[in-house]
Structure 1
Amino acid sequence: MEKPSRTTFRIRLETMVQQLRESIISGDLAPGSYLPSEDLLGERFQLSKKSVRKGLESLVQEKLIVKKPKIGNMVIDPNGTDERITIRFCYYPDADSEMNIAWLLNAFERKYPHIQVKRMTMHTHLYADQAMSFMVDGMLDVVMLNYYDFSYFNSAAGSNMLAEQEADPAIYAFLNRAFTVDGKSYVKPFAFSPLILAYNRDHFRDIGLPEPDSSWTWREFAHAATRLSDCRESARRYGFFFHLLSHNRWPLWLLQHGFSLGLNEEGRYDLNDEAFVASMQMLRELFSQENTVPSFMFDSAQDPERLFLEERTSMIITTYFRLNHVKSASFDYDISPVPYVNVPKTLLLNVGLGISKHSEHREAAQLLVNYLTSSEAQESLRMHTTSIPSLKEMAEQERSDKEAEPGRYSMFREIIPSFRYYTDMNVNRHQLRTMTHYLKLYWSNLESSSNVIANIEEALNNES
């Protein structure tokens, strides 16, 4: 028999402990029963007796088994003690409404009654900084991170904050790759969504306008938006809207124009770039069309879905996550890929689960992460929300109540080659914020393009 590789030793040991732990907690191994002998466990998982004993010691510490000298390792009741493990889990404020997190955590606690999950949410703008601070202080065990915040984690703290996790091959490979650094995975993908276009089918039918499809350019989009606008005071309606200042929205135009932030021969940032200028001009043109889009008085990330639900706008740039806020729509709606400039591209939003390196309950934290990315939890996510699970099998599963989601829900499978991250443009989160700060003056017609570009360049060069 071929000798097992030393490089897989940790994986085999963790697999043994994890399987035994789950069998005890689920009741498959009843209290009072005994684990298989150390010799059998060693043979099954290709481990030495010393390694088996080391793994079993962690189950003793978790009070799941007790060693009986000369007899074996006896299972004890995980509910038979008042000492519950408490792990602290931080997630985004919208995760309850968009990813059913509260329900999933309740299900986890029912399945593993010896573990209690303390729930924490933080304001999105300060999320990453606060999460890192809590981790350093040992006040956080599991954290939900989108790709945007993970990139910041990685640049600010490297691999010093998050524990390494084993990548799950059942999860879409392109999601795993996003959270992998130097061949090591630090976040386990939970759910994802590309930017998409949602539209009111009734409005399109009323004026005999063909519905959007993957061939739409922004020129065709603008023409449709103008026709869909309704200027009557009794039923005023705009053709389209999206939250322009969102870092997950406006960079789409930079991406589609082929922009990439780089240094000139003098080692300084130079934004007198055709792609950058074209992007900012196109956005101002879209938002300057009379009777086509609302004014800047709408500055909340929740406004697009609210206006869409109230039929005050016919089209919105949104995500599968945000579609959860329009499930109660009284009208017929559907989705399509976002229009494009040169080559079809769209921004991808990827949300995953990380474990703090400073956690005192790493095993319990890993149990939570594994549960939330399990078939059971991912199927619940698919069946009760419009968000897309990271587990490929569950994401592509059909729902019985198809009326609860847009007819073209599975469209995401066909446009995967168009998925991109903002980092593909060589920009980081702080640089995007700097650009947004100055660009909103240009989009509001309060500043010239040359002055805005000069201000952005100066700010970026002073920061570097």
Structure 2
Amino acid sequence: MEKRTTRSSSRTRLSELVNTLREDILTGKRPVGEYLPSEKTFAADYNLSNQSVRKGLDVLVAEGLIEKIPRVGTKVVGAPEGAFVTVKLGFHSSVTDEADIHRLLSSFQKENPHIRVQAVPTSSNNYSYISEYLSSGLLDVVMMNFKDFQECVETGEEGMLEPTERNPELYSFLSDAFVADGRQLVQPFIYSPLILCYNREHFHEANLPEPDSSWQWKDLITYSSKLAIPNERLGFHCDLYSPNRWPLLLLQTGGKFERHEDGRLKLAGTAMMDALRYCGEMKHSIPSLSEGITTGESELLLAKGKASIIMTSYFYLNYLLGERLSFDIAPVPHFGTPMTMLLNTGLAVNRKSQVKDAAVKLVEYLTSYKAQLFVRQNTYSLPARKSAAEWVGEEKRYLPSRFSLFRETIPGFRYFTDLAISASELSDINQELKMFWAGLETEEVLCSHIEERLTVSSV
């Protein structure tokens, strides 16, 4: 056997040893009754210490695959009929379509017959659920978006996540978002900037130019009013007041939330209050904007010809798969400097997982070129692996002509943290803004509630 180099970490080499032996036993390559090479041989072949090899073999002993016979050696016992390792994966239910996750898991299990994946739906809107699942050991791998990760770090719970090696094949700006204290705690899986999506036929019928990167918000208001048909079609539709939407306008101002000397947020008389006021004014300019709309509602209206333009993400474009619709995409409007909000979803391993090797293997598979290319070819979501996201070849479904615009807009990607607020503050502000935008609170009351309610937190 060829000796492993020292370029990979000892943990990676040990994982390789354990996984290889497990696969060989479960597939019959190492038959029942065979004696394994000595610990010293494995140590030399994998560039590991004898102690590390011993720990790795203990994992297989615990799984009932081998037994150690004193003064004789290590014997292959073979797995009991139907024996396998179960990895519990917590995933956002929306990713069922956004990444065709169940087909991916089926492919993984075919390649790893000794591992079964139990998919557990979790909330993508409430980090507390993820925290409870991790701390109680109910999940081995969990899907986390950027906001989830920020809340994990803010609450000091990042210790629940197993540090992993940075994958240089994944976009660096995605990996950077999941680092704490110099450790890579989450591996990016899929991502998307906010974009516009529009019905091309509506523009052609109205003899209007299609959206492009020069569009400002005033242009959106102008053109959407020309496209709208009373009692028949909306010019523009989106859930602007979602926490994954409204921060966009604030980010585009280029400003940050200000604070009082004691750390409390300051809102009255600031540029941020001006931006929030503009959001409210947009609601009056585009009456179809609403709060808390059903997931996929904008895309459904577009598909049925009841909306001409929507603000969405590559994730939600998957609601249009299979629809008979000539649609295309464009950058979101801006105030003069192109900028958009970035949505980033990754995978983390529970540090206390009892099947950590299998959990790591699942994450490695889902971020592999094979799995990431599957996402690119079968969905509209953007895979985190650069070579897969930028793959060019024969498409299996309708692809908007400007699908690759994400490559040119990368310099304008921003997270809500660029506003100098924490994830918990984002949630609190969002609740107050709904009251304000609904006309149930005055600007003075809004500023008072936010400034009195929110105290400083690390961002």
Q: Same fold (TM over 0.5)?
A: yes
Q: Give the C-alpha shift of residue 449 in structure 1.
A: 2.4
* Partner residue, 1:282: 278
* Partner residue, 2:213: 214
Q: How do 1:186-205 and structure 2 match up within 5 A?
A: 186-205=185-204
Q: Is the 8 A contact 1:172 1:390 kept in 2?
A: yes
CA distance in 2, matches of 1:312, 1:6: 57
CA distance in 2, matches of 1:173, 1:462: 30
Q: Give the C-alpha shift of residue 177 in structure 1.
A: 1.0
Q: Is the 8 A contact 2:149 2:178 kept in 1?
A: yes
Aligned length: 453
| Residue-by-residue CA offset, 1:275-331 (whole Å, 9 max, x unaligned) | 312322222222212xx4415477323321121112211111111110000123322
- AA in 2 matched with 1:147: F
Pick closer, same or farther for the CA change 1:370–1:171 going to 2, 3 Å: same
* Partner residue, 1:10: 11
* Partner residue, 2:141: 142
Q: Is the 8 A contact 2:239 2:290 kept in 1?
A: no
2:384 is aligned with 1:390 = yes
| Percent of matched pairs sharing the same residue | 37
| Residue-by-residue CA offset, 1:113-164 (whole Å, 9 max, x unaligned) | 22222221134433x2122112222222111111111111121133321111
Q: How do 1:65-76 and structure 2 match up within 5 A?
A: 65=66
Pick closer, same or farther for the CA change 1:266–1:143 going to 2, 3 Å: closer
* Partner residue, 2:89: 89
2:337 is aligned with 1:323 = no
* Partner residue, 2:122: 122
* Partner residue, 1:108: 108
Q: Give the C-alpha shift of residue 41 in structure 1.
A: 4.2
- AA in 1 matched with 2:113: P
Q: Give the C-alpha shift of residue 29 in structure 1.
A: 4.4
Q: How do 1:303-382 and structure 2 match up within 5 A?
A: 303-382=297-376
Residue range with higher mean Cα deviation, 111-120 or 350-359: 111-120
Q: Is the 8 A contact 2:239 2:291 kept in 1?
A: no
2:237 is aligned with 1:238 = no
CA distance in 2, matches of 1:220, 1:6: 54
Query: Residue 252 of structure 2: which of 250, 253, 256 is its match?
Result: 256
CA distance in 2, matches of 1:112, 1:456: 51
- AA in 2 matched with 1:237: R
Q: Is the 8 A contact 1:175 1:390 kept in 2?
A: yes
* Partner residue, 2:175: 176
Report SS of the residue matched to 1:287. helix
Report SS of the residue matched to 2:158. coil
- Unaligned ranges ≥5, structure 2: none
Q: Is the 8 A contact 1:191 1:389 kept in 2?
A: yes
- AA in 1 matched with 2:327: Y
- AA in 1 matched with 2:103: W
Pick closer, same or farther for the CA change 1:460–1:35 going to 2, 3 Å: same
- AA in 2 matched with 1:56: L
Report SS of the residue matched to 2:318. helix
Pick closer, same or farther for the CA change 1:224–1:109 going to 2, 3 Å: same
Q: Is the 8 A contact 2:89 2:142 kept in 1?
A: yes
Pick closer, same or farther for the CA change 1:35–1:378 going to 2, 3 Å: farther
Q: Give the C-alpha shift of residue 212 in structure 1.
A: 1.2
Q: Give the C-alpha shift of residue 63 in structure 1.
A: 4.3
* Partner residue, 1:99: 99
Q: Is the 8 A contact 1:93 1:123 kept in 2?
A: yes
Q: Give the C-alpha shift of residue 381 in structure 1.
A: 1.4
CA distance in 2, matches of 1:76, 1:398: 48
Query: Residue 269 of structure 1: which of 246, 258, 265 is its match?
Result: 265
- AA in 1 matched with 2:55: K
Q: CA RMSD in A?
A: 2.9
Residue range with higher mean Cα deviation, 245-254 or 357-366: 357-366
Q: Is the 8 A contact 1:334 1:407 kept in 2?
A: yes
Residue range with higher mean Cα deviation, 432-441 or 418-427: 432-441
Q: Is the 8 A contact 1:194 1:347 kept in 2?
A: yes
2:416 is aligned with 1:422 = yes
CA distance in 2, matches of 1:201, 1:7: 50
CA distance in 1, matches of 2:103, 2:343: 22
Q: Is the 8 A contact 2:263 2:456 kept in 1?
A: no
Q: Is the 8 A contact 1:327 1:405 kept in 2?
A: no
Q: Give the C-alpha shift of residue 8 in structure 1.
A: 4.1
CA distance in 2, matches of 1:333, 1:5: 51
- AA in 2 matched with 1:87: V
* TM-score using structure 1 length: 0.88
Q: Give the C-alpha shift of residue 226 in structure 1.
A: 1.5
Q: Is the 8 A contact 1:179 1:187 kept in 2?
A: yes
- Unaligned ranges ≥5, structure 1: none
Q: Is the 8 A contact 1:304 1:316 kept in 2?
A: yes
Q: Give the C-alpha shift of residue 37 in structure 1.
A: 6.3
CA distance in 2, matches of 1:419, 1:118: 34
- AA in 1 matched with 2:333: P
Q: Give the C-alpha shift of residue 38 in structure 1.
A: 5.1
Q: Is the 8 A contact 1:89 1:120 kept in 2?
A: yes
CA distance in 2, matches of 1:215, 1:457: 36
Pick closer, same or farther for the CA change 1:348–1:295 going to 2, 3 Å: closer
CA distance in 1, matches of 2:67, 2:436: 68
- AA in 1 matched with 2:91: Y
Residue range with higher mean Cα deviation, 440-449 or 276-285: 440-449
CA distance in 2, matches of 1:19, 1:422: 43
Pick closer, same or farther for the CA change 1:395–1:62 going to 2, 3 Å: farther
Residue range with higher mean Cα deviation, 31-40 or 394-403: 31-40
CA distance in 1, matches of 2:414, 2:71: 59
* TM-score using structure 2 length: 0.89
Q: Is the 8 A contact 1:240 1:293 kept in 2?
A: no
CA distance in 2, matches of 1:85, 1:19: 15
